[in-house]
Structure 1
Amino acid sequence: MSLRWRASGELLCAAKHDALEDDTYIDDKLHYQLAVELKVVIPQADERESGVWHWINEGEQ
C-alpha cells in the first residue's frame, strides 16, 4: 500500500485519498520499509475507514 505525505504533515493511504499538488508519494516498497522494517509509521486504529497513518513519534491524536 502506498502513502501520500501531505505538506501539512498528514500521512494518508494513497488508495483512499486523492493526490494534492504538494503531496510526496511514498511507494509500496518504501512504505513496507517504514512500517515493517523500521517501524516508524503506524496505522490509526480506524485506518481501514480513514486511511490515516502516523509517524511513530506522533502517535494517534
Structure 2
Amino acid sequence: MRIGDGELDLWRFEEALRRARQASSVNRATEAVAGYREAAALWRAPRVRRAPVADRLSS
C-alpha cells in the first residue's frame, strides 16, 4: 500500500498547523485562524477521537 503526500490526516494536520504558525509569526491573523481551525477539525475527526491514545494526547 502506498500513501501519497497529503493523503494521511496526520500530514494534513501538521501542514495546517505549520501554515497557521507561519501566518501567526507574520501577523496574518485571518490566515492563522483558518489554519488552526483546519487543524482542529482534523484532530476532532471521529477516527482520531476513537483512537486508543486520543485521551492521553488531549490531556
Query: Shorter-chain-normalised TM-score: which range?
Result: under 0.3
Going by fraction, where is strand more abundant, 1 or 2?
A: 1
Q: Which has the larger radius of gyration?
A: 2
Going by fraction, where is helix more abundant, 1 or 2?
A: 2
The TM-score, its normalising length taken from structure 2, stands at 0.26
